[in-house]
Structure 1
Amino acid sequence: MSTPPPPQQSPQPPAAPPAQQAFGQQAPPAQQPFAQQPPAQQAPGQQAPGQPAFAGGGYSSPIPVVKTHLGHALASEWTKIRTVRSTMWTLALTLVLTVGIGLAFAAALSSDDYTGMPLLAGGYFGLMFSQICVITLGVLVVTSEFATGMIRTTFTACPQRPRVLLAKALVFFGLAFTVTLVATSLTALIHSSMLGGQTVPDWDWDDPIMEGSVENGELIASSGHWMGATVGASLYVALLGLMALAVGTLLRHSAGAITFMLGVVLVPLLAAMFMVGEALSGLRDALIEYSPLNGLASLFRIPMIGEEPTTGWGMLGLLAAVTAALLAAAFARLTTTDV
């Protein structure tokens, strides 16, 4: 048996020689699968893909980061209170009522020989009305933010709630005291120039109310009178406004807080007017003596009750103690309750 011949294989074409490459010329990218690609351009502060969030040098803000303090809260509250239109109108009305009524009072008595009261006492009547403006402003400093919901923004910017209330109290008290001091000082100067030097009759020289107001038979004002009618009265009204701020923080309602404060100022004296008879005489005298209006009148040396006139500084201290207690309660409620 013969062996079959092996199958013939088709001849393979010769392999093509590699393409000639010019000297210094790189191969196309397809022939360089592992070639190093240049890094993509990255914007400043932009994190590269796949890079950890805090790897290397992170983004640094151009705004300097500082620790906040009470000064920042004071600046914020001062900006808020001076840019609100109602603040300017309320303080302007306080100035107009105090000086305007005081001027009218002095003009009405300037033709008489004797006023029957200390030289600077007429400033009380204008301040008796203008204090309502200060009380209203003290309430609105807090309750307006609660009514609009802006108090949430305030507490977000400054989470330290006691610091916020302290800043509000300091800014408002300083502004109210300054404006009231200007108003009472102008009124006192008007009364001194228009009524000073009037002749006081002999029988009134020993009147307890006129103690320190008569010199050589003429009507004068001592340094104590000036201090009480200007600085003392301004402190008294500013403390009433600060008390209104504390009540507004506690109630968080404008109408309710204003009504409460008007009741505190007016109701004791009005209630005493309707208490007749000996059985109610003790309560009536106590309501008159400790009413805010009598405390303010005492600073002008015209108390509403009592044989011996008081200077009013004791009532000012009592008002300061009550205001401090209400502020402490306001701090406690602000820090223990939600907005």
Structure 2
Amino acid sequence: MTTTTPSGRVAPGGFAGAIASEWTKLWSVRAAYLCLLAGLAITGVFTYYYASIARINEHPMEPVGNAAASSAVLSQFAVVILATVTVTSEYATGSVRASLLWVPRRHRVQAAKVLVVAVVSFAVGVVYAVVGTAVAWGVFDGRALFEAGTTLRQALAVGLYLALVAALAVGTAFVTRHPAGALSILVTLLWALPTVLLGVGGPELATVNDSLPHGAGDHFMRAGIEVPYASATAVLIVTAWVAVAHLAGLYVLRRRDA
């Protein structure tokens, strides 16, 4: 099905039209560019610091890609904010009503937002990893290992993790419908709670952290470290968190008026 726009152009309908609409809306605001540039800057600064500390303290040799993988603890919030604003800005302005009129099947609206934000986040995640690895390689000054296959795998893993985190943020934003509420939940889940668990220490708390999104994500992004389960299991753990947020968001979207 197609629809004629006010300008006379024919726009695609169905899910393809929903995706095209979300893509246009995403890049029509300055916030998207600012978030992604901030994430790039954070990655550069963090990887420089990470490699500097490793060189100065003569840490054991490790894959150079670990610097970029570790920077995701901060750079993930660039895509978290981007994904959250993609949803909550429409509720704040009331434009969500137009979105739901244009795409009456509410699951399509949510799915289109998730797909667009996840694809963008995957792409920028790979870019962040490549830039971060390049920065770290020079700063490590020989105290890191470079293997093309491992480095490529880590870059793709960072992209995958940021894509999953972005999808998690979209689901959470649909549940709360407010940026402060969504960001409070996501900051707690992705940073504050893991920091407390690892700071207090102990095998039991470490096991809990391994079940959280960033704990699991760290296991499949980093290389050359001992992990409690396989990378595929780590991906499934993060995906499970995304699925829960997505289903909760869809429930609220269907049950409550815009």
Shorter-chain TM-score bucket reads: 0.7 to 0.9
Match of 1:287 among 204, 208, 219: 208
Give yes or no for the alignment of 1:156 onto 2:101: yes
Instruction: Look up the SS of the partner of 1:121 in the other structure.
Output: helix
Q: Could you list the per-position Cα deviations for residues 219-243 of structure 1 after superposition, in whole angstroms to 9, with x for gaps in the alignment?
A: 5234553244211122112211210
The 5 A counterparts of 1:81-160 are: 81-106=26-51, 115-160=60-105
**Which range is displaced more, 184-193 or 61-70?**
61-70
Contact 2:150–2:223, Cα closer than 8 Å, also in 1: yes
Corresponding letter in the other structure for 1:74: I
Q: Choose 1 or 2 for highest CA Rg.
A: 1
Rounded to whole Å, the distance in 2 between the matches of 1:226 and 1:80 is 34
**Residue in structure 2 matched with residue 73 of structure 1 by the alignment:** 18
Rounded to whole Å, the distance in 1 between the matches of 2:141 and 2:30 is 39
- Give the Å deviation of 1:266: 2.4
Give yes or no for the alignment of 1:334 onto 2:253: yes
TM-score w.r.t. the length of structure 2 is: 0.83
Pair 238,67 (structure 1): closer, same or farther in 2 beyond 3 Å: closer
Match of 1:230 among 129, 147, 155: 155
Give yes or no for the alignment of 1:325 onto 2:244: yes
Higher relative contact order (CA 8 A, sep 6+): 2
**Residue in structure 2 matched with residue 300 of structure 1 by the alignment:** 222
Give yes or no for the alignment of 1:186 onto 2:131: yes
- Give the Å deviation of 1:188: 1.8
TM-score w.r.t. the length of structure 1 is: 0.65
The 5 A counterparts of 1:212-291 are: 219-223=144-148, 225-273=150-198, 275=200, 281-291=202-212
Match of 2:116 among 166, 171, 181: 171
Pair 62,225 (structure 1): closer, same or farther in 2 beyond 3 Å: closer
**Which range is displaced more, 87-96 or 161-170?**
161-170
Contact 1:232–1:313, Cα closer than 8 Å, also in 2: no
Pair 127,154 (structure 1): closer, same or farther in 2 beyond 3 Å: same
**Which range is displaced more, 237-246 or 154-163?**
154-163
Pair 285,333 (structure 1): closer, same or farther in 2 beyond 3 Å: same
Rounded to whole Å, the distance in 1 between the matches of 2:145 and 2:7 is 64
Note the residue ranges of structure 1 that are not aligned, 5 or more in a row: 1-60, 199-218
Rounded to whole Å, the distance in 2 between the matches of 1:104 and 1:274 is 21
Aligned-residue Cα RMSD (Å) equals 3.0
Q: Could you list the per-position Cα deviations for residues 75-104 of structure 1 after superposition, in whole angstroms to 9, with x for gaps in the alignment?
A: 111111101111111111011111232134
Rounded to whole Å, the distance in 2 between the matches of 1:191 and 1:168 is 33
Identity within the alignment, %: 23
- Give the Å deviation of 1:327: 1.2
**Residue in structure 1 matched with residue 3 of structure 2 by the alignment:** none
- Give the Å deviation of 1:302: 6.8
Contact 1:302–1:309, Cα closer than 8 Å, also in 2: no
- Give the Å deviation of 1:260: 0.5
